[in-house]
Amino acid sequence: MLRHYSQREKEEKPLKEYVILLIQHLLRDSLDFLEALEIIGAEKTRTIIVGIPYSSKNDIVNKLKNRGYKVYAPKIYPSMSTSKKL
């Protein structure tokens, strides 16, 4: 579905003016997802990717970084017990 939509919208590039923040599982299908976003105008330099710690695969994180994406892949969530109370 995403591939079909991206091919249909590739001329208009509806994402070309946007900064994109993705917080998601960084699995193999992330590569296809980002490729579809690129087709419709998403720019690597305007895309920030934050991986969910328990499901970010190192090889996918490295591939995304090698492709020019800004990727933050923390290994653990910040602990709530160490945060300052308001």
pLDDT digits (tens, 9 = 90+) for 44-65: 999 999 999 989 999 999 999 9
Establish if 81 belongs to a structural domain. no
Which range marks the domain in which residue 13 is found?
2-76
Six-digit token string for 82:
């160490």
How many domains does the chain contain in total? 1
C-alpha to C-alpha distance for 86 and 84, rounded to whole angstroms: 6
Establish if 49 belongs to a structural domain. yes
**What pLDDT is attached to residue 79?**
60
25's enclosing H/E stretch is strand 20-26
Number of residues in the chain: 86
Mean pLDDT of 15-34: 95
Contact call for residues 77 and 53 (beta carbons, < 8 A): yes
Establish if 37 belongs to a structural domain. yes
Contact call for residues 40 and 9 (beta carbons, < 8 A): yes
Asked whether the predicted pLDDT for residue 76 surpasses 50, the reply is: yes
Provide the 10 A C-beta neighbour count for residue 47: 21
**What pLDDT is attached to residue 10?**
85
